[in-house]
């Protein structure tokens, strides 16, 4: 069975990728009877035998009716998928061993209501889609490694109306997401600062004293936005702090410890998250890359990306 599955996978494997949005048509939809469908065929055969033995024409008629329904179900099952537009919107970044969340839009442009659409990646989601509606479906893809993560093909399947046939389509979207190193679970203190005797917990925050308001710049932390002025309709402003910069926090790869680079990256990642959570200003040093101290989500993302692609 497993071998058969592998063989089928190979058979249906495509050597090119789909565009961002795919309309399902006869080229994309496969149909095969399900186990229940095969049992139904057996049922029809049994009814035919009964009709034959008793030479009963109405029993024949019933068998033929069921056989015809079985046959026509192929068309209806196909129709339950045909015309759907499936598009991949975004794959959200994740840390290693977390799942990458993929946003998928299912669009039903027809006036036909669709039932029991099953989307499958690592998890399976089943939705009904009313006529002319678009729905967001999130699927998960598990991660093992740091770096670019390419998702497996997505399968959209449907057994409506009778469950006798299964129509499905395999979608080879190019879905990639950055996977950051897994943050270390060890709670190591921030690296000691060169020349200073700063201890864990003794680091003064870079912005303890409120200095004034300035125009919002991309990369400013959401925390620092002055919401009151925003509510007054004066536009976005950030609160500016000018504390005494007692210390400059530098998160440096060379200061991490561990058996191998992955463990060290993992440590660095932990520090990054901690620093971002506590709203510190931090500089970032990786081999061949130095980012000047700053804060905010943009800076944070930049650092994580560097970690992921290291």
Partner 1 sequence: MVLKNNQRTLVFLLSSIGLITFPHFWHIPLSIITFFYALLLWRFIGIWKSHWLPHKIIVLLIMLGGIALLLNHFRSFLGRDAGTSLFVIALALKLLEIKKDRDLYLICYLAFIVASSQFLFGQSMLMALYILLVCCALFTSLIIINSQQSKPVVAIKKSATILAQALPMTLVLFFLFPRIQTPDWVFLNDTNTNAITGLSDTLDPGSITSLALSPELAFRVKFENNNIPPPRQRYWRGPVYSYTDGKRWTESQQYINPSYMDTPKYKGKAYKYTLLLEPQIKNWIYTLDMPAQFSSGLYKNPRHQLLTQKQSNNRREYQLVSYPHYNTGYITKAEFRENTQLPYPASQKIITFIKQLKGFNSSPEDFIKTLLDYFRTEDFYYTLKPPLMKQKPIETFLFENRRGFCSHYATTFVYLMRVAHIPARVIGGYQGGEFNSIGKFLEVRQADAHAWAEVWLENKGWTRVDPTAAVAPERIERGVDINKQIAQGLVNFMSINNSNAYSWFKKSHQLLQSLDYNWQRWVIHYDTGNQANFLSSLGIKNLKIMLYWMMGLIGFITLCLTIYLFKNNDTSIDKASFYYQKFCKKLAKVGLQRQPNEGANDFYTRISQRFPTQKHQFKVITALYNQQRYGKQPTKKVLQQLQKTVNQFKIKVNIK
Interacting residue ranges for partner 1, rule: CB under 8 A: 20-21, 36, 39-40, 43, 46-47, 50-69, 71-73, 75-76, 79, 82-83, 87-90, 103, 105, 109-113, 115-116, 128, 131-132, 136, 159-163
Q: Which of 30, 20, 26, 25 is nearest to 105 (CA)?
A: 20
How far CA 90 is from CA of 50, 137, 143, in Å, comes to 56, 11, 16
Where residue 125 falls (left for φ over 0; alpha for ψ -120 to 50; beta otherwise) is beta
CA atoms within 13 A on the CB side of 32: 5
CB of 306 to partner 1, least distance (A): 27
Smaller CB separation from partner 1, 37 or 181:
37
Tell me whether residue 86 or residue 286 sits nearer to partner 1 (CB atom): 86
CB 106 within 8 A of CB 194: no
For residue 208, how far is the Cα from the chain centroid?
38
In the complex, least distance from residue 252 CB atom to partner 1, rounded to whole angstroms: 38
- Choose between 32 and 136: whose C-beta lies nearer to partner 1: 136
Shortest gap between Cβ of 118 and partner 1 (angstroms)?
A: 11
Least CB distance from residue 5 to partner 1, whole Å?
Answer: 21
> Across the chain, where does the E strand assignment appear?
21-23, 30-33, 85-92, 94-95, 99-108, 114-120, 124-129, 133-142, 147-150, 154-158, 165-171, 176-180, 210-215, 237-241, 249-252, 282-286, 289-294
Nearest residue (CB) to partner 1, 13 versus 20:
20
| CB nearer to partner 1: pick between 133 and 278 | 133
Instruction: Tell me how far, at minimum, the Cβ of 47 lies from partner 1, in Å.
Output: 5
Question: Of 126 and 261, which has the nearer Cβ to partner 1?
Answer: 126
d(CA 230, CA 278): 24
Q: How far is the CB of 80 from partner 1 (least distance, A)?
A: 10
């Amino acid at each position: 069975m497993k071998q058969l599955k592998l063989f089928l996978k190979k058979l249906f494997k495509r050597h090119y990728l789909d565009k961002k949005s795919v309309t399902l048509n006869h080229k994309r939809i496969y149909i095969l009877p399900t186990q229940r469908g095969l049992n139904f065929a057996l049922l029809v055969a049994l009814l035919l035998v009964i009709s034959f033995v008793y030479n009963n024409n109405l029993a024949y008629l019933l068998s033929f009716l069921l056989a015809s329904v079985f046959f026509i179900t192929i068309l209806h099952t196909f129709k339950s998928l045909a015309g759907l537009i499936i598009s991949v919107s975004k794959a959200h970044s994740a840390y290693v061993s977390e799942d990458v969340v993929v946003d998928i839009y299912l669009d039903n442009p027809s006036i036909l209501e669709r039932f029991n659409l099953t989307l499958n990646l690592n998890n399976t989601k089943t939705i009904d889609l009313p006529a002319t509606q678009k729905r967001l479906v999130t699927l998960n893809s598990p991660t093992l490694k740091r770096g670019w993560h390419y998702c497996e093909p997505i399968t959209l399947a449907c057994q409506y109306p009778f469950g006798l046939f299964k129509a499905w389509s395999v979608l080879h979207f190019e879905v990639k997401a950055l996977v950051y190193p897994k943050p270390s679970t060890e709670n190591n203190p921030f690296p000691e600062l060169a020349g200073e005797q700063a201890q864990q917990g003794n680091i003064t925050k870079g912005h303890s004293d409120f200095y004034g308001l300035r125009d919002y710049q991309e990369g400013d932390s959401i925390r620092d936005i002055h919401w009151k002025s925003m509510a007054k309709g004066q536009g976005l402003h950030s609160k500016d702090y000018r504390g005494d910069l007692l210390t400059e926090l530098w998160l440096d790869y060379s200061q991490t410890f561990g058996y191998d680079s992955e463990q060290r990256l993992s440590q660095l990642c932990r520090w990054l998250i901690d620093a971002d959570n506590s709203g510190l200003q931090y500089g970032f040093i990786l081999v061949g890359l130095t980012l000047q101290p700053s804060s905010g989500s943009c800076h944070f993302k930049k650092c994580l990306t560097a970690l992921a692609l290291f």
